[in-house]
Amino acid sequence: MSLDLATAQTILAAALAEAQAVCAKPLAVIVLDAGGHPIAFARQDGASLFRFEIARAKAMGALGMGDDTSVIAARAAANPVFFHSLAAAVGGQIAYSPGGVLARSEGQIVGAVGISGDTGPCDEQCARAGLRA
């Protein structure tokens, strides 16, 4: 299975509904397919500059490393030299903050959601809500 536009739009809508429910700061939400190609993106009114780039870096980092960015952030804290080098090697296409969550179907990675705008844990909560939908 792969992510299609309708599914990506459902993920976006549910993530933004969760953001509204928890009174999150304005967010940017991106859904990427397994190859890192954008399927859908939304930026709430008032979201600050660079939110698209950060959300995309979270989703790309999850895809590239095969794990959610909350896990990657913990690994980066324990091995900063490697992860600093990694960020340089991938041209900055990775962010070490929660909010990048893998999308799976039948155990296979089919894409990722990246969210930026609030705290990392809030971003991740909204991403997971989107994926549950």
Tell me the pLDDT band of 10, cut-offs 50, 70 and 90: very high
Average pLDDT, the chain: 96
Quick check: 61 pLDDT over 90? yes
pLDDT tens-digit readout, 78-124: 999 999 999 999 999 999 999 999 999 999 999 999 999 999 999 99
Tell me the pLDDT band of 1, cut-offs 50, 70 and 90: low
pLDDT tens-digit readout, 27-54: 999 999 999 999 999 999 999 999 999 9
Q: What is the pTM of this model?
A: 0.95
The reported pLDDT for the residue numbered 2 is 80
- What is the Cα–Cα distance from 121 to 124, expressed in whole angstroms? 5
| Residue 53, Cβ density class (10 Å: 0-12 exposed, 13-18 middle, ≥19 buried) | middle
